[in-house]
Structure 1
């Protein structure tokens, strides 16, 4: 597996642990719909939260959250619609982003609630 894949996997693990520590109930990870993937799906109280995780070694080129393009948002929303239908979920849906970067031997985690809203 390529180094960037290993980093991404490790970042998702860090993000999951962070979210669980902050009261999120993780219900799914790396859920796939066609070629689209939802990184983390969780409940935060009564909200279904779809979390996109972005892991980078640094923010030298761009902050990890800037890597979430409009087409990525469309993919996430489309996969979320499929997930909600398949799992028969009727809760409100929120889209968060968690960025993860190693800083001085530790993980820096930033959680952005309501990072984006689906556009019609």
Structure 2
């Protein structure tokens, strides 16, 4: 079980570093509301982006981005709604997925507006 958590944490760090190089500001990591968690909340200009990071060491069972199901999306929306309300955010919002495929080097793909 520990390897799974370590892989996820490494993937989230790689995703955060990747997004920073693209000009995003990291606002929050692992934001929790009730049973929901948002891996990264980032900002650029007047956009607030809620990011689900999916990391896999192998694509034997599918690509990382394919593992965001409807239930996960609902939980992300609920947590995002609470964050928007609690911070009184007035700008644009979007829900993205960052797919991290561990390897040498890791492959990172950013899917904008991927959860709707």
Q: TM (normalized to structure 1)?
A: 0.93
Query: Aligned pair 1:81/2:87, yes or no?
Result: no
Unaligned runs of 5+ in 2: none
Instruction: Tell me the distance in 2 between the aligned counterparts of 1:66 and 1:56.
Output: 11
Between 29-38 and 10-19, report the one with greater CA deviation: 29-38
Residues 54 and 65, structure 2, Cα contact 8 Å, conserved in 1: yes
| DSSP 3-state at the match of 2:102 | strand
In the superposition, the TM-score normalised over structure 2's length comes to 0.96
What does residue range 59-78 of structure 1 map to in structure 2 within 5 Å? 59-78=59-78
Q: How does 1:14-25 map to 2 (within 5 A)?
A: 14-25=14-25
Q: Which runs of 5+ in 1 are unaligned?
A: none
The alignment's C-alpha RMSD in Å is: 1.0
State the shift of 1:32 in Å.
0.5
* Offset at residue 101 of structure 1 (A): 1.0
**CA deviation string 1:8-36 (max 9, x = no partner):** 00000000000000000111000110121
Aligned counterparts of 2:81 and 2:14: Cα–Cα separation in 1:
26
> After TM superposition, which residue ranges in structure 1, 4 or more long, deviate above 4 angstroms?
none
CA positional deviation for 1:98: 0.2
How many matched pairs? 116
